[in-house]
């Protein structure tokens, strides 16, 4: 017969524990909440009160329900209070010896039939279970941060966890309104195994001053639709906890260098910069525990000041190319009030590009986003040409021709001859080194990458790629132009994948490797990332949309540039591409799209 869970215990009321208490108490289950000291207990109680008060203030919880919720919690110091609960969830710091000590003690204190669960993110549930005399009743119940909000729970069974314990815990998750994925005991389970390499890589970019914290975070939010950037997420997780998770994953997960914690993390932990909980991490917060970021010495000055930094005035823009990106970019500049000279390789192509821009602007009119007058004015600003010499008097050229280095280099050499001095020459390349293109001219200081995302009129992000020869004035001009276009420009170095692709594709590749290793299914992995981390799409959904061939090409470039063994493309990805399974565009990728 299935177990009834009428009372549960939660041990450790920090970032996770306090949220887990709320999840149970909200669902009508009595909770014994245990901490190590009165002070820690008070902190946990304050977290719960704060969270439920906010829910009341937002109208999400009735006052009477809040009072009933709080009345279900019995606050206690010491594990002895857990003698009669049906289930304990441990959420103390991520140290194996501490957890083993606590489980040995829980085994002694708790009634024989009680289930003992750990919320560990990366430690071996099996190793924790053998500290008890009932390893068959030990299980991982891994909640996500913040526990009351995130829908996912990873249920981790060891080789000795009883099937009935797994089934009862799965039923409990359902009762709590959570979606569970049940998996075996492997470092990082699904979500963290895919998340932490990415987080560590992002910290590495910040440590190397490849881009600023604001730009790294904005890139991932705006380029991938993530709910928060990686550095803000590190602050939410807690740098001490993140350090322990990375360290354990490195040691348990085959010593993948990508999990070796970036030295900066340890330094910040030592300095007490733990993230939100201590009031300062990568960002500074109003006070410890507050989600409100306040300005500090690293906060960038407003974009207006960039103009004072010597940005050049731009009024007339040349756009070279006739593909999807060029067409979108012409529309973006024309709508923003710039005079645009579109240059293609022939009148026929120009007519086609003109037609596409018109159709897109008309859609804006139909949707009520653009007036007819504004549409006509935007179109009136564009000159259509097939002659490169017509770029003699523009202030900025944006090149969006085919992604081939020889073609781009030849074009930039011509632009160098045609364009007046002081013009900013930009390439939209997504994978070629900008410096190669810059060196085809006699004016590399004026060359910059402007990496727009597709569709350009909609996507709010532009990566501004600075080579080692790009002048500060050119970068300032690029920043000012992005701001004038209503886009967020993020500045980064000239490395393969810039910010977004360098952080995104290794994660997608890792998901393929996880599937290949039969650790989980594509559906569960997609669920885990959407419901555990708030991603708008799971990795396999995204791979099918982006195209497996495109993804493989990007991953290969990253691997070739960095020679990082962990970046080697997943063999399964290679095989699917060879087999012609390219994603939605070919009708089949990781999923079959023919009948959808």
Ligand X SMILES: NC(=O)c1ccc[n+]([C@@H]2O[C@H](COP(=O)([O-])OP(=O)(O)OC[C@H]3O[C@@H](n4cnc5c(N)ncnc54)[C@H](O)[C@@H]3O)[C@@H](O)[C@H]2O)c1
Q: Among all residues, which ones are annotated catalytic? A: 121, 142, 154, 192
- Cα Rg, the chain, nearest whole Å: 27
Q: Is 494 left (phi over 0), alpha (psi -120 to 50) or beta?
A: beta
**Distance of alpha carbon 161 from alpha carbon 488, whole angstroms:** 50
Q: What is the DSSP string of 95-127?
A: -HHHHHHHHHHHHHHS-TT-EEEE--SSS-HHH
The one among 188, 238, 457, 569 contacting ligand X by CB under 6 A: 238
State the residue for tokens 């910290």.
203
**Distance of alpha carbon 99 from alpha carbon 138, whole angstroms:** 12
- Residues 255-284, mask of contacts with ligand X (x by CB under 6 A): ----------------------x-------
The one among 47, 51, 52, 121 contacting ligand X by CB under 6 A: 121
| Least distance (Å) between residue 143 CB and ligand X | 6
Of the pair 122, 509, the CB lying nearest ligand X is at 122
| Least distance (Å) between residue 149 CB and ligand X | 12
Q: Choose among 83, 72, 90, 87: nearest CA to 168.
A: 87
CB atoms within 10 A of CB 208: 12
| Least distance (Å) between residue 490 CB and ligand X | 25
Q: Which residue is nearest to ligand X (CB)?
A: 14
Residues with Cβ within 8 Å of 358's Cβ and at least 6 positions away in sequence, in order, are 379
| Least distance (Å) between residue 238 CB and ligand X | 5
Q: Binders of ligand X among 178-237, rule CB under 6 A? A: 237
The one among 120, 126, 278, 430 contacting ligand X by CB under 6 A: 120
Residues 391-411: b if buried by 16+ CB within 10 A, e if exposed = beebbbbbbbbeeeeeebbeb
**Distance of alpha carbon 512 from alpha carbon 539, whole angstroms:** 8
Rule CB under 6 A: is residue 245 a binding residue for ligand X? yes
Of the pair 231, 450, the CB lying nearest ligand X is at 231
| Least distance (Å) between residue 147 CB and ligand X | 8
| Least distance (Å) between residue 232 CB and ligand X | 13
Contact (CB, 8 A) for 99 and 118 = yes
Q: What is the DSSP string of 368-389?
A: TSS-HHHHHHHHHTEEEES-GG
| Least distance (Å) between residue 518 CB and ligand X | 25
Helix (H, G, I), strand (E, B) or coil at 72: coil
Reading the block at residue 347, the tokens are: 């009148």
Q: Edge-to-edge strands of the sheet including 87-90?
A: 73-77, 30-35, 7-11, 87-90, 115-118, 138-143, 152-157, 179-184
| Least distance (Å) between residue 533 CB and ligand X | 10
Rule CB under 6 A: is residue 94 a binding residue for ligand X? yes
- Residues 138-167, mask of contacts with ligand X (x by CB under 6 A): ----xx-x----------------------
The one among 23, 69, 73, 102 contacting ligand X by CB under 6 A: 102
Of the pair 132, 555, the CB lying nearest ligand X is at 132
| Least distance (Å) between residue 514 CB and ligand X | 19
Of the pair 35, 541, the CB lying nearest ligand X is at 35
Q: Choose among 501, 432, 496, 427: nearest CA to 464.
A: 427
The verdict on whether omega for the bond into residue 313 sits within 30 degrees of 0, i.e. cis, is no
Of the pair 289, 547, the CB lying nearest ligand X is at 289
Q: What is the DSSP letter of 259?
A: G
The one among 21, 85, 91, 511 contacting ligand X by CB under 6 A: 91
Q: Binders of ligand X among 6-45, rule CB under 6 A? A: 11-17, 34-36, 40
Stretch that binds ligand X, among 63-71, 87-95, 365-373, 445-453 (CB under 6 A): 87-95
Of the pair 123, 482, the CB lying nearest ligand X is at 123
Of the pair 202, 542, the CB lying nearest ligand X is at 202
Reading the block at residue 58, the tokens are: 């937002």
Stretch that binds ligand X, among 119-127, 162-170, 291-299, 399-407 (CB under 6 A): 119-127
Contact (CB, 8 A) for 424 and 438 = no
**Distance of alpha carbon 157 from alpha carbon 139, whole angstroms:** 6
Of the pair 55, 79, the CB lying nearest ligand X is at 79
Of the pair 13, 117, the CB lying nearest ligand X is at 13
Q: What is the total count of residues that contact ligand X (CB under 6 A)?
A: 27
Site residues (vs ligand X, CB under 6 A):
11-17, 34-36, 40, 91-94, 102, 119-121, 142-143, 145, 237-238, 241, 245, 277
């Amino acid at each position: 017969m299935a177990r009834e869970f009428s009372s549960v215990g939660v041990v450790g009321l920090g970032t996770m524990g306090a949220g887990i208490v709320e999840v149970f108490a909200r669902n009508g289950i009595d909770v014994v909440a245990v901490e190590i000291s009165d002070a820690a207990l008070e902190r946990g109680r304050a977290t719960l009160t704060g969270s439920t008060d906010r829910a009341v203030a937002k109208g999400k919880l009735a006052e009477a329900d809040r009072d009933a919720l709080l009345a279900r919690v019995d606050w206690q110091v010491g594990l002895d209070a857990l003698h009669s609960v049906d289930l304990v969830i441990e959420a103390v710091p991520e140290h194996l010896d501490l957890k083993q000590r606590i489980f040995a003690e829980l085994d002694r204190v708790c009634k024989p039939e009680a289930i003992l669960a750990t919320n560990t993110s990366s430690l071996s549930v099996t190793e924790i279970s053998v500290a008890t005399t009932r390893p068959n009743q030990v299980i991982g119940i891994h909640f996500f941060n913040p526990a009351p909000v995130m829908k996912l729970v990873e249920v981790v069974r060891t080789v000795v966890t009883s099937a009935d314990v797994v089934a009862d815990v799965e039923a409990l998750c359902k009762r709590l309104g959570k979606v569970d994925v049940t998996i075996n005991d492997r470092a990082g389970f699904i979500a963290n195994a895919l998340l932490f390499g990415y987080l560590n890589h992002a910290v590495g970019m910040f440590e190397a001053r490849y881009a600023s914290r604001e730009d790294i975070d904005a890139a991932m939010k705006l380029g991938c639709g993530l709910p928060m950037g990686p550095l803000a997420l590190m602050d939410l997780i807690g740098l001490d906890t993140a350090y322990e998770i990375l360290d354990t994953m490195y040691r348990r997960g085959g010593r993948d260098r990508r999990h070796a914690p970036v030295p900066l993390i340890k330094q910040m932990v030592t300095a007490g910069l733990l993230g939100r909980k201590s009031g300062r991490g990568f960002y500074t917060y109003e006070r410890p525990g507050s989600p409100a970021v306040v300005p500090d010495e690293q906060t960038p000055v407003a974009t207006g000041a960039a103009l004072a930094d010597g940005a050049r005035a731009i009024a007339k823009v040349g756009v070279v190319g006739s593909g999807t990106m060029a067409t979108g970019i012409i529309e973006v500049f024309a709508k923003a009030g710039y005079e645009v000279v579109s240059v293609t390789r022939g009148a026929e192509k120009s007519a086609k590009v003109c037609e596409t821009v018109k159709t897109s602007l008309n859609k804006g009119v139909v949707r009520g986003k653009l007036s007819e007058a504004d549409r006509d004015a935007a179109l009136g600003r564009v000159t259509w040409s097939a002659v490169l010499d017509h770029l003699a008097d523009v202030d900025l050229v944006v090149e969006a021709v085919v992604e081939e280095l020889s073609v781009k280099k030849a074009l930039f050499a011509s632009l160098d001859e045609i364009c007046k001095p002081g013009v900013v020459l930009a390439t939209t390349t997504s994978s070629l080194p900008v410096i190669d293109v810059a060196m085809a001219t006699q004016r590399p200081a004026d060359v910059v990458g402007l990496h727009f995302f597709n569709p350009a009129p909609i996507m709010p992000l532009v990566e501004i790629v600075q080579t080692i020869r790009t002048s500060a004035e050119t970068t300032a001009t690029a920043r000012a132009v992005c701001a004038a276009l209503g886009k967020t420009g993020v500045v980064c170095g000239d490395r393969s994948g810039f910010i977004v692709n360098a952080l995104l594709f290794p994660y997608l590749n890792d998901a393929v490797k996880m599937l290949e290793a039969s650790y989980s299914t594509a559906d569960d992995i997609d669920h885990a990332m959407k419901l555990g981390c708030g991603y708008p799409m799971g990795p396999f959904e995204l791979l099918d949309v982006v195209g497996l061939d495109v993804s493989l090409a990007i991953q290969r470039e990253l691997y070739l540039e960095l020679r990082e063994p962990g970046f080697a493309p997943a063999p399964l990805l290679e095989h699917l591409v060879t087999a012609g399974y390219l994603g939605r565009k070919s009708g089949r990728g990781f999923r079959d799209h023919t009948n959808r």
